[in-house]
Amino acid sequence: MLQRDYTTSQLDVLEAEAIHIMREVAAEFERPCLLFSGGKDSIVMLRLAEKAFWPAAIPFPLMHVDTGHNFKEVIEFRDRRSVELGARLIVASVQDSIDQGRVVEETGRRASRNRLQTTTLLDAIEEHEFDAVFGGARRDEEKARAKERVFSFRDDFGQWDPKNQRPELWSLYNARIRKGEHIRVFPLSNWTELDVWDYIRREGIEIPSIYFAHTRKVFERDGMLLPDSEVVQRGDDEPLFEAVVRYRTVGDMTCTGAVQSPAATVEEIIEEIAATRITERGATRADDRSSEAAMEDRKREGYF
Amino acid sequence: MDILRFATAGSVDDGKSTLIGRLLYDSKAIFEDQLEAVERTSRDRGTEYTDLSLLTDGLRAEREQGITIDVAYRYFATPRRKFIIADTPGHIQYTRNMVTGASTADLAIILIDARKGVLEQSRRHAFLTSLLRVPHLVLAVNKMDLVDYSQERFEEIREEFTAFASKLNVSDLTFIPISALNGDNVVSRSQNTPWYLGTSLLHHLENVHIASDRNLTDVRFPVQYVIRPQRANDHAFHDYRGYAGQVAGGVLKPGDEVVHLPSGLTTRIASIDTFDGPVEEAFPPMSVTLRFEDDIDISRGDMIARPNNQPHVAQELEAMVCWMADGIKLTPRSKLSIKHTTRTARALVRDLHYRLDVNTLHRDEEATSLGLNEIGRVSLRITQPLFVDDYARNRQTGGFILVDEATNGTVGAGMVLDAS
Ligand SMILES: Nc1nc2c(ncn2[C@@H]2O[C@H](COP(=O)(O)OP(=O)(O)OP(=O)(O)O)[C@@H](O)[C@H]2O)c(=O)[nH]1
Ligand SMILES: [Mg+2]
């Protein structure tokens, strides 16, 4: 008799783990929500949520923290995808936080709303009384993220205490919190950038067009290509030029760089990423470059 | 391609983080910007070489103190396998974080500094990996460069450790002499140790056989979530009622006769559903949704098994507990919240039989409490029946956590013994 060896491919293992995590949250929390930015990680997370609860609808709303500086292609995608899924989308706006005097807009050439998002996010979590918030962060992205638990406890100020995390054994997640506290949940913790792309290919998942090669007017700053846009302040010493680029991550236009690339299909992107020698955040994110512990500091304050 | 999860362990400064850095670096999993950042920091501190431990010691406090505080997870792949690494701290104060990293590992690498030999912390970690039933153990004798790659020293350590390991449950133990700093025997075999005839560490990681570590014999399906679509206009699924969960043991097929616990009622699997369509079989670690031929009242925390192969239904448990709380102690009469598979209940510590000295494995039967990082055998009474197996037989249905009801902290990790 032929012996079946019951091996499971890495994507199947990662998918099963993520689905388990999502069901655990739906079962143990009263008011979860899923952060959906229209970026590739949150798109994959949304597909996993569809799978976890099918044939029922996703049992929690989606939320996007909108800086007002997002790429229009991504915002369109976000809105369309939410409607297709019949999901409720909550948009928490950084502009509103500014208008209400909760935060003060940065000024100058390098002004960014990146850090302001934390206040908007925490205010929205409090307003909607969310007790669990799914994020698409992966541990391979950044060295502080590499340290984070799948269920990451936040105190009533939304803060992360990296020196005092709850032990997390096997796949037994501790969901106990007091009112006002919440848990950030990261179902993609063990996925790498390449896993995400392999999964997008395997599942035939649609993603916003800016991930693929396109011609765009850009300028160079600190070795990064920033887009021509009214929300990005450009100096006279920063000339515009046209280039064939694509985005490896999508965030705020003011701090997300494009990479020069001819990759026009998911297959070509996978080839490119398998050969690349620079991490996705190193290639594209000004927000991580400000200091060695930039991410850890933002995360302590309550950032994604 | 499959996944191997492994953890590093061992005493402070034995070179765990450096080894991970070396593995990542030599297998080209380090990106240029990460390496540049590490080189810059090493230079700024006046270190002559590139300190590869900075690749995993990602927290500010860790870099300042030069120690690992919490587990770092790192990833790399070779054409043969994807690897998930948990780089755990050696410092005794952070043992609970080591336990976190080792609980899901298929393999543990215990590092030993060749100059220092087997230390208390090496023994503690070896004991914990055997307690956690990490199926494969590698003892990496590190810093061989500092003992002139001496075969004699390697053999001494091998003998000393073998003697200790004979008292533990270690089924697969491999010894490798390495230098994490210089890369000897890490990715390829080193010319500096011609007397060593085994394979390099990476070769071992790529080839160790893990498929049979899963339990494919005892069908165990803890019900996690009940799926009942309530879309008003969705007639196709109007009466749908599915039981979602992750398979914890055995192989399930449509048509199989199963038993529901706690009711003891039997039925057959009507269908195994997924978003991508029904499947012909389900086994660990698949997350699926089961439907049954009969209408049984089933909810989260229940268990599906086979009529002739059931877990133990227990309200009295014998277990080894690793205590992880600062401040609070485990004592007889302690009341805690217990989470086992998908079921949460309350537990009362009825008795503490002994506390284990991890150095000598001596059982102190006079002990009256367990403090931070202490391990002991307890009897628990649970407010509701749990469906358990021996931890040695199934890590999913034999493991549980204890949560303090006042602080909500995870304070204990438990492993079921003598389920009967
Ligand atoms: N000469 C030599 N030095 C080494 C070797 N491996 C590690 N070291 C050095 O030993 C020191 C401690 O290394 P780490 O990798 O930080 O040790 P660790 O085991 O991760 O320590 P904790 O995580 O704090 O328990 C560093 O200075 C390393 O450069 C080796 O093979 N040879
Ligand atoms: Mg270390």
Question: What is the percentage of chain B residues whose pLDDT exceeds 90?
Answer: 76
Domain co-membership, B208 together with B335: no
Domain limit, last residue, from B190, B212, B234: B212
Contacts of B31 in chain A (CB under 8 A): 276-279, 282
Report how far residue B34's alpha carbon sits from residue B420's, in angstroms, rounded to the nearest whole number.
52
Neighbours of B103 (CB within 10 A): 26
Our answer on whether the CB atom of B18 is closer than 6 Å to any ligand 1 atom is yes
Please give the model's pTM, rounded to 2 decimal places.
0.94
Average pLDDT over residues A159-167: 92
Q: CB within 5 A of ion ligand 2: which residues?
A: B 16-17, 68
Whether B10 and B56 map to the same domain: the answer is: yes
All residues of chain B having their beta carbon less than 8 Å from the beta carbon of residue A162 are: 59, 61, 69-70
The domain that holds B19 is classified in CATH as: 3.40.50.300
Binning pLDDT at 50, 70 and 90, where does residue A290 land?
Answer: low
| pLDDT for A21 | 98
C-beta atoms of A176 and B403 within 8 A: yes
Amino acid residing at A197: W
- ipTM for the complex? 0.95
Answer positive or negative: Cα dihedral of B183, B137, B401, B300.
Answer: positive
Chain B: nearest CA to A97, how far in angstroms? 30
pLDDT above 70 as % of chain A:
95
**Helices B151-165 + B120-131 axis angle, to 10:** 50
Do B250 and B162 lie in one domain? The reply is no
pLDDT score of B420? 64
Domain total of chain B: 3
Domain match, B245 and B364 both: no
Q: Is the pLDDT of residue A111 over 80?
A: no
| Among the partner residues B300, B324, B395, nearest to A170 by beta-carbon distance | B395
Contact A130, A32 (CB under 8 A): yes
Mean of the pLDDT values across residues B308-318? Answer: 96
Q: What pLDDT, on a 0 to 100 scale, did the predictor assign at position B378?
A: 98
Of A6-20, B30-44, B57-71, B307-321, give the range with the top mean pLDDT. B307-321
Mean pLDDT of chain A: 90
In the three-class reduction of DSSP (H, G, I as helix; E, B as strand; rest coil), residue A5 is classed as: coil
Are B357 and B394 part of one and the same domain? yes
Chain B hits for A278, Cβ within 8 Å: 31-33
Neighbours of A31 (CB within 10 A): 14
The answer to whether A262 faces chain B, any CB pair under 8 Å, is: no
For B215, nearest residue in chain A (alpha carbons) = A6
Same domain, B185 and B201: yes
- Cα torsion at A277, A280, A286, A291 (round to 10°)? -70
Higher pLDDT, residue B296 or B48: B296
Among A79, A22, A29, which Cα is nearest to A51's?
Answer: A22
pLDDT band at A2 (very low <50, low <70, confident <90, very high): very low
Whether B48 shows a pLDDT value over 90: the answer reads no
Express each pLDDT in A222-235 by its tens digit. 888 888 888 888 88
Domain that includes residue B141, residue range: 2-212
Rounded distance from Cα B57 to ligand 2 centre (Å) = 7
Q: Does residue B361 sit in the same domain as residue B228?
A: no
Nearest-angstrom CA–CA distance, A133 and A304: 10
Percent of chain B with pLDDT over 70: 99
**Model confidence band, residue A142 (pLDDT cutoffs 50, 70, 90):** confident
Instruction: Give the pLDDT score at B53.
Output: 83
Q: Write the pLDDT tens digit of every residue in B83-92.
A: 999 999 989 8
Beta carbons of B3 and B107 less than 8 angstroms apart: no
Q: What is the pLDDT of residue A289?
A: 58
Q: Give the pLDDT band of residue A287 (cuts 50, 70, 90).
A: low
In a shared domain, residues B69 and B199: yes
B227/A17 CB distance under 8 A: no
* A residues 42-61 closer than 8 Å to B (CB): 50-57
Q: How far apart are CA B390 and CA B93, in angstroms?
A: 29
CB atoms B72 and A146 under 8 Å: yes
Is domain A10-195+293-301 classified as CATH 3.40.50.620? yes
Q: For A62-90, what is the mean pLDDT?
A: 93
First CA to last CA distance, chain A: 52
Give mean pLDDT, residues B9-16: 91
* Residues B67, B160 within the same domain: yes
Number of C-beta neighbours around residue B168 at 10 A: 17
* Six token digits for residue A84: 């297709």
Q: What is the mean pLDDT of residues A230-251?
A: 88
Q: Which of A239, A251, A262, A261 is nearest to A284 (CA)?
A: A251
Domain boundary, last residue among B181, B212, B243: B212
* For residue B391, pLDDT beyond 90: yes
**Structure-block tokens of residue A126:** 């409090």
User: Residue A4: its pLDDT value, please?
Assistant: 66
φ, ψ of residue B364 to 5 degrees: the values are -90, 100
What gap in Å lies between CA B319 and CA B263, rounded to an integer? Answer: 25
Q: Which has the higher per-residue pLDDT, A299 or A215?
A: A215
Domain's final residue, options B249, B274, B305: B305
Question: Does any CB of chain B come closer than 8 Å to the CB of residue A161?
Answer: no
| Per-residue pLDDT band at A131 (split at 50, 70, 90) | very high
Please determine, for residue A42, whether its predicted confidence score (pLDDT) is greater than 50: yes
Give me the pLDDT at residue B141, please.
98
- Supply the angle between the helices B95-102 and B120-131 in degrees, to the nearest 10: 40
Binding site of B, by residue number, is: 10-17, 87-91, 142-145
Cα–Cα distance list, B39 to A109, A132, B33, B183, B212 (Å): 30, 38, 10, 17, 42
| pLDDT given for residue B234 in this prediction | 66
Sequence ranges of the binding site of B for GTP = 10-17, 87-91, 142-145
- Region B264-288 average pLDDT: 97
Does the pLDDT of residue B133 top 70, yes or no? yes
Phi, psi angles (nearest 5°) of residue A158: 80, 10
pLDDT band at residue A1, thresholds of 50, 70 and 90?
very low
B12: Cβ below 6 Å to ligand 1? yes
Residues B263 and B348 in one domain: no
Q: Where are the alpha helices (DSSP H) in A112-214?
A: 117-127, 193-203
Ligand 1 pocket, residue B147 CB under 6 Å:
no
Average pLDDT over residues B45-60: 82
Question: How far is B258 from B266, CA to CA, in rounded Å?
Answer: 6
pLDDT bin (cut points 50, 70, 90) of residue A241 is very high
Let me know whether B156 and B250 are in one domain.
no
How high does pLDDT run on average in chain B?
93
Are residue B79 and residue B127 in the same domain, yes or no? yes
Lowest-pLDDT range of A22-31, A285-294, B93-102, B194-203: A285-294
Which residues of chain B make contact with A168, given a CB cutoff of 8 A? 100, 410
Across the range A99-104, mean pLDDT stands at 85
Where along chain A do its domains lie?
A: 10-195+293-301, 208-288
Report d(CA B32, CA B356) in Å as an integer: 46
Contact B387, B394 (CB under 8 A): no
pLDDT tens track for B217-272: 999 999 999 999 876 566 778 789 999 999 999 999 999 999 999 999 999 999 99
Q: In this predicted structure, what is the pLDDT of residue A32?
A: 98
Between positions 3 and 32 of A, the ones with CB within 8 A of B are 5-10, 12-17, 19-20, 23-24, 26-27
